[in-house]
Amino acid sequence: MDIKTSSPELDEELVKPANWGDEAWVHAQFEWLRANDPLRRLEPNGFDPFWNITKYHDLKEVEQNKSVFINDPRPTLGPKMIEVMVEHLLGRKHLVRSLVQMDDPDHTKYRLLTQGWFGGPNLRKLQNDIDNLAQEYIDRLADLGGECDFVKDVAAWYPLRVIMTILGIPEEDEPLMLKLTQELFGSRDPDVVRTFEPLDTGSDGKPLILSVVEDFETYFTELSKERRKNPTDDLASVIANAKIDGDTLPELETSGYYTIIATAGHDTTSATTSGGLLALIENPEEFDKLKNNPHEIMPTFIDETIRWVTPVRHFMRTATQDYWLRDTEIQKGDSLILWYPSANRDEEVFDSPFNFKVDRNDTSHIAFGFGSHVCLGQHLAKMEMSILFEKLINQVDHIELAGEPQYTQSTFVGGLKSLPIRYRMKK
């Protein structure tokens, strides 16, 4: 399918999750939009209209003006019907209220509760544990006998084990966490969703996407009760016993805090790790550069992988006042969608943006966001990936594709959902 047009047809196709299973198609649309219609007003059926932000500097300008462009009330793209149902059935604006849905003063107060856990000193304390977990999954490669699905056998589980260990969630509950995360972020992907359409309802008349959120809330409510009775030294205890302005966190915000850490803390890293391996396989000369000088090139390789994959595909902002952007007036109340994969392939910012370069000496990608909402766990993600790839290079002699990679059908968070590989361990 080749759209790339100024007609309303593109408005409809760009928001269809199924089209995001074809990354080449998506990047072709963004390339055309950057060149021909960089700030376009989209009006797809079933959605409130919004401005389409595809250029790097436009996106950055919006991100850094946090008082003009706020997350609430529309932090992510969703059908209008879902918003109406959440309001009607749950009596609130959002399915989840986490850092993603917050603006100041709440955002800063809530972010500071756990910010230290994701900073350098604490990460250094975790490094040995992460190193051991990475080795477990390299050992799993050896046990699998030379062929596996890297996403399903390694990349989906390794960062999950890391974040669950930090939270203090028992290993036997990790399959449930993985299932719920995939259902939440891939809510239109037929391979992970409880039902293909998010507006389909269960026997209680609720959309099934609501049941996914309720399952998270049920689990984390019980976890909070336990940590308040018996606090430990894990992050779950920090959240359960935290206070804002002298009061314990409300139930909705407590559950939302757990949910965003448990989901964003592993799904994005999983997508980036598997996407980085695919890029190496498809660019053997770049793979050789990394193998020949891993210590020096690893940091640039990790940043290039994050730019290349950009697992968070969008967030949205809403204007609190009239604002001129790219000679266009954005009116108060207008929403804007920030397409991070497009910004990270902007030809005006990155040299040869469609070439994967392990030694690209440019860390200006915006995959972690920018400004006050920059990703809380970015340094943890980089550490996890670096450790795993160092071990993979040292212990795996050869890797090639053993089937066709497949991508998640999701406009929000996504990447590879299947990466069949064939490999040979070093002796």
Q: In the structure, what pLDDT confidence band is assigned to residue 277 with cuts at 50, 70 and 90?
A: very high
Lowest mean pLDDT segment, chosen from 143-147, 205-209, 229-233: 205-209
Q: Quick one: which H or E segment has residue 62? A: helix 56-64
Q: What is the mean pLDDT of the chain?
A: 89
pLDDT on residue 299: 96
377-387 pLDDT, tens digit each: 999 999 999 99
- Indicate if the pLDDT at residue 111 is higher than 80: yes
Question: 136-140, long-range: CB within 8 Å, 24+ apart, which pairs?
Answer: 136/161, 137/388, 138/388, 138/391, 138/392, 138/395, 138/396
pLDDT on residue 205: 57
Cα distance between residue 197 and residue 364, in whole Å: 37
* Contact criterion met (CB below 8 Å) for 107 and 373: yes
In angstroms, the Cα distances linking 17 to 23, 163, 181, 408 are 11, 27, 17, 8
Of residues 112 and 266, the one with the higher pLDDT is: 112
- Indicate if the pLDDT at residue 333 is higher than 50: yes
pLDDT on residue 314: 95
Cα angle for residues 112, 174, 231 (degrees, 5° grid): 45
* Contact criterion met (CB below 8 Å) for 248 and 257: no
Of residues 339 and 223, the one with the higher pLDDT is: 339
- The structural domains of the chain, ordered by start, are 8-425 (1.10.630.10)
Contacts of 332 (CB under 8 A, 6+ apart): 319, 320, 321, 322
pLDDT on residue 297: 97
Residue with tokens 């932090």: 75
pLDDT on residue 197: 42
191-226 pLDDT, tens digit each: 544 333 444 555 555 666 777 778 888 888 888 999
- Indicate if the pLDDT at residue 81 is higher than 90: no
- Indicate if the pLDDT at residue 83 is higher than 60: yes
Stretch 18-32: mean pLDDT: 94
- Indicate if the pLDDT at residue 149 is higher than 60: yes
Q: In the structure, what pLDDT confidence band is assigned to residue 85 with cuts at 50, 70 and 90?
A: confident
**Number of Cβ within a 10 Å radius of residue 355:** 12
Q: 3-state DSSP call for residue 396?
A: strand
pLDDT exceeding 90 applies to what percent of the chain? 66
Evaluated on CA atoms 417, 418, 419, 425, the torsion sign reads positive
pLDDT on residue 384: 96
- Indicate if the pLDDT at residue 177 is higher than 60: yes
